[in-house]
Chain A
């Protein structure tokens, strides 16, 4: 019955349309799930592409059977920019025979922008060594390190009671290019029984031992105590007079005391500000005015951790580096960051039993530190202050992938569709 009606309708429609060339429909709404336009695939019947463009708003729900899609050749122009500014090179030097020299900085384009130019030095890792034992089983301590970190340091034997042994293992076993000696034990506010209240002389003695044990450049880390840091730096600067150390760190409140020490013994300084670009400009300018050469200054705009403000560091590092490349002279220094902070993130240090859904800490811990360091290196971090040996290796591995001139095996990227794994 329905079919009969429809064929009757069709007949009448055909009759009506017999002598019609063109129909204009006005104010018509077509509601349908599918609507097919039968038009030729080629030649006369095909819809020209200009018409297709015009019909586009109408064709939201329509499925046209189209003419063959034609190749439209266009040219892609390399959008590379040029940059008037340049980052200075900073050297960390070990004196004597076989003493290593590490150079960072010298960038002419943003990190890993090989399409815009070549940067001379990949980022470098300096490995943390602390002056406070970390084995909570043998004695109380101020310093609590996450288990994945301790596992590397307490096995097969505990190297954390001796800075030279710790440094040696970091260089020889874990491949550290530089060592940071953190003298947090010199903080007079940390109780003696937890490893605090150590004198500056003690820091200098430790430095001396480390210098005799390893041949990589050294960073001197203070405790952050404004009264004690200048004394610790003075003692170490003197012992390391033949070297070019990095004094880490000075800030707005302490630079007037620390900069003259660096100048006197020709060491580098780490200028630390707190996520504030203008403060960094000001501090750097002050240092240069005091006679610290630009190539003796490292910037640390503060490294916040993945999940806990990394994005603020990300944008500050990026703004600093881009401003420097565009010509802001006070910011044309290499950058550093304490990526060890990553271990302060609960996602990095909490044991598996607390959050089984996060996966093994043995992987997420190092991943947290790698990501923190690596993502900042994409914004200009040149010197990563790192803790976990596996994280150091992971970081170096991805940095190498982006900076080496020797290519690994090439693959057809589309093969991920059909690969066996």
Chain B
């Protein structure tokens, strides 16, 4: 939709400005439609009234993104993969964050249960957002339909999460799809050998299917064949090999698919699924810890590759928390909207109900810095002042090194904030990463500077050691500073 203008959309809307969508005018709806706030179906008259049928169809086609969106799972945890419109993040933004999927073999029910619980429960709170894992891939190591069905049932009994059912044996996939009736799983994978049978299962259960081939002609043909047969939920796997050189070929196939789709090749205009679990193919189950970590690092690097290139789904073998943390944090960044400024207003913020004896903290106005510090102060149930100094929206370390935040800026901010009328003391706590401006800041501001911890997580311990019950002593030091 990047290249469509609201002027092209408006003639296809009813033009009655009925307001049913919540917007005052059809033009306003058009603008937000192109901004992904609405979908075409949100214009009720267009959907309902027969006279608009042609316009509806045309608008729907016009606004279908080059990478079509596919839903997996049901209910609250349902995910949408795809929907991307651009090759590069800065050209617009990426819309549907890469789904991170854990996996477990069907012959290990306790692991299925453990992983399903992990997917259900894992939450990492970061900068105002909860980071989560999206689903579970059950892989048919047994190649036995009954074993597979049992594993699928175990997962469903444990958690209501999106499932990816993995086998190339249609009998296994059929048993799995039956066990996951009504759960809208994603079938993995249809190949040139099994696509007729697997396609039937997908049609029968109205669920999505991943087509697989390392040959892109064959992959495009598989997708085209299933689409012609009536399937509307398709995803592509061009085969991910982990080893040197082979991984480069895998990334090439991935990028060719994505680029072709963005340029308009409808046959491959589907989400891409990247099972980076392939890093573990051929590994001994009893491999040494060192080798295990080395392989996990390779898997993490493969994961970073595909998140950075907007893959729609990663399927992992590892479930190590350090690895998941890294991938989730990378995803949070890459999928943040580049059109939004990363800074918050540089001013004095109140945490809790501060009074004239409350501590005063200073940091920079980079959004992430602000959220991290604010969350940490609130977690301590502190009453405090937090002074944000304008760093042009970058973090403390870079702002100090880069000169966006100098002692003079902080001194100025203290003056402008009116802090000198709000607190009785003249003590300011600055981030440990801003230590180098402390001397100059004391000279310019006439406040005593306490260098705080490098990380705001250490503020509690810091206050205990340096602040609590020491205000008089600190003010005495401040007075001595005046005399000097």
**Interface of A with B (CB < 8 Å)?**
49, 52-53, 55-56, 59-61, 63-66, 68-81, 112-115, 142, 144, 187, 189-191, 224, 253, 274-275, 302, 304-312, 314-315, 318-319, 322, 341, 344, 346-347, 349-350, 354, 357-360, 363-364, 367-368, 370-371, 374-375, 378, 394, 397-398, 400-421
CB-nearest residue of chain A to B395: A308
CA distance A398 to B284 in the complex (A): 22
Pick out which of these stretches binds chain A: B5-13, B252-260, B466-474: B252-260
CA distance A107 to B188 in the complex (A): 38
Contacting pair A113 B398 (CB below 8 A):
no
CA distance A82 to B300 in the complex (A): 31
Q: Separation in Å of the A16 CB from the closest CB of chain B?
A: 30
Q: Separation in Å of the A348 CB from the closest CB of chain B?
A: 10
CB-nearest residue of chain A to B437: A189
Q: Which of B230, B268, B285, B392 contacts A421 (CB 8 A)?
A: B285
Q: Which of B230, B245, B305 contacts A378 (CB 8 A)?
A: B305
Q: Could you say which residues of chain B place their CB within 8 Å of the CB of A402?
A: 247-248, 251
B187-232 interface (Cβ within 8 A of A): 188-189, 191, 195-196, 199-200, 203-206, 212, 214, 216-217, 219-221, 224-226, 228-230, 232
CA distance A415 to B250 in the complex (A): 15
CA distance A409 to B232 in the complex (A): 36
Q: Could you say which residues of chain A place their CB within 8 Å of the CB of B439?
A: 189, 191
Task: Tell me whether B113 is interfacial, beta carbon within 8 Å.
Answer: no
Given A359-B325, A401-B244, A416-B280, answer yes or no on A306-B221 (Cβ-Cβ < 8 Å): no
Task: Tell me whether B308 is interfacial, beta carbon within 8 Å.
Answer: yes
Given A367-B323, A398-B298, answer yes or no on A56-B232 (Cβ-Cβ < 8 Å): yes
Pick out which of these stretches binds chain A: B75-83, B330-338, B420-428: B330-338
Contacting pair A274 B392 (CB below 8 A):
yes
Contacting pair A359 B321 (CB below 8 A):
yes
Task: Tell me whether B38 is interfacial, beta carbon within 8 Å.
Answer: no
Q: Which of B225, B280, B432 contacts A70 (CB 8 A)?
A: B225
Contacting pair A77 B440 (CB below 8 A):
no
Contacting pair B217 A74 (CB below 8 A):
yes
Query: Which of A189, A341, A371, A413 has the most CB atoms of chain B within a 10 A radius of its CB?
Result: A413
CB-nearest residue of chain A to B399: A274
CA distance A151 to B195 in the complex (A): 54
Given A304-B395, A359-B320, A371-B304, answer yes or no on A66-B334 (Cβ-Cβ < 8 Å): no
Task: Tell me whether B90 is interfacial, beta carbon within 8 Å.
Answer: yes
Q: Which of B90, B205, B368 contacts A319 (CB 8 A)?
A: B90
CA distance A3 to B220 in the complex (A): 50
Q: Could you say which residues of chain A place their CB within 8 Å of the CB of B221?
A: 71-74
Given A309-B342, A401-B248, answer yes or no on A344-B397 (Cβ-Cβ < 8 Å): yes
CB-nearest residue of chain B to A316: B90
DSSP majority for the B interface? Answer: helix
Contacting pair B248 A302 (CB below 8 A):
no
Q: Could you say which residues of chain B place their CB within 8 Å of the CB of A68?
A: 196
CA distance A174 to B241 in the complex (A): 28
CB-nearest residue of chain A to B167: A417
CB-nearest residue of chain A to B189: A414
Contacting pair B263 A421 (CB below 8 A):
no
Q: Could you say which residues of chain A place their CB within 8 Å of the CB of B250?
A: 413
B388-446 interface (Cβ within 8 A of A): 392, 394-395, 397-398, 401-404, 432-433, 435-436, 439-440
Q: Could you say which residues of chain A place their CB within 8 Å of the CB of B283?
A: 419-421
Contacting pair A344 B275 (CB below 8 A):
no
CB-nearest residue of chain A to B238: A413
CB-nearest residue of chain B to A59: B230
Give 7 new A-B contacts, CB below 8 A, not counting A411-B241, A411-B243, A413-B240: A74-B217, A78-B260, A307-B126, A319-B90, A408-B243, A411-B282, A421-B280
Q: Which of B139, B309, B342 contacts A417 (CB 8 A)?
A: B139
Contacting pair B224 A418 (CB below 8 A):
no
Task: Tell me whether B28 is interfacial, beta carbon within 8 Å.
Answer: no
CA distance A349 to B251 in the complex (A): 31
Contacting pair A56 B230 (CB below 8 A):
yes
| 23 chain-A/chain-B pairs, Cβ below 8 angstroms | A69-B196, A69-B200, A71-B195, A71-B221, A76-B268, A77-B260, A114-B252, A115-B256, A306-B330, A311-B333, A312-B342, A318-B89, A346-B372, A349-B455, A359-B323, A364-B322, A371-B300, A401-B247, A401-B298, A407-B246, A414-B189, A414-B239, A420-B283
CA distance A315 to B88 in the complex (A): 8
Nearest 4 pairs of A and B residues by beta carbon:
A408-B243, A359-B322, A407-B245, A311-B333
Contacting pair B214 A413 (CB below 8 A):
yes
CA distance A315 to B225 in the complex (A): 37
Contacting pair B247 A308 (CB below 8 A):
no
Q: Could you say which residues of chain B place their CB within 8 Å of the CB of A72?
A: 221, 224-225, 228
Q: Could you say which residues of chain B place their CB within 8 Å of the CB of A302?
A: 394, 398, 402
Q: Separation in Å of the A337 CB from the closest CB of chain B?
A: 12
CB-nearest residue of chain B to A52: B230
Q: Could you say which residues of chain A place their CB within 8 Å of the CB of B374?
A: none
B320-356 interface (Cβ within 8 A of A): 320-323, 325-326, 329-330, 332-334, 336, 338, 342
Q: Could you say which residues of chain B place their CB within 8 Å of the CB of A306?
A: 326, 329-330, 333
CA distance A349 to B453 in the complex (A): 13
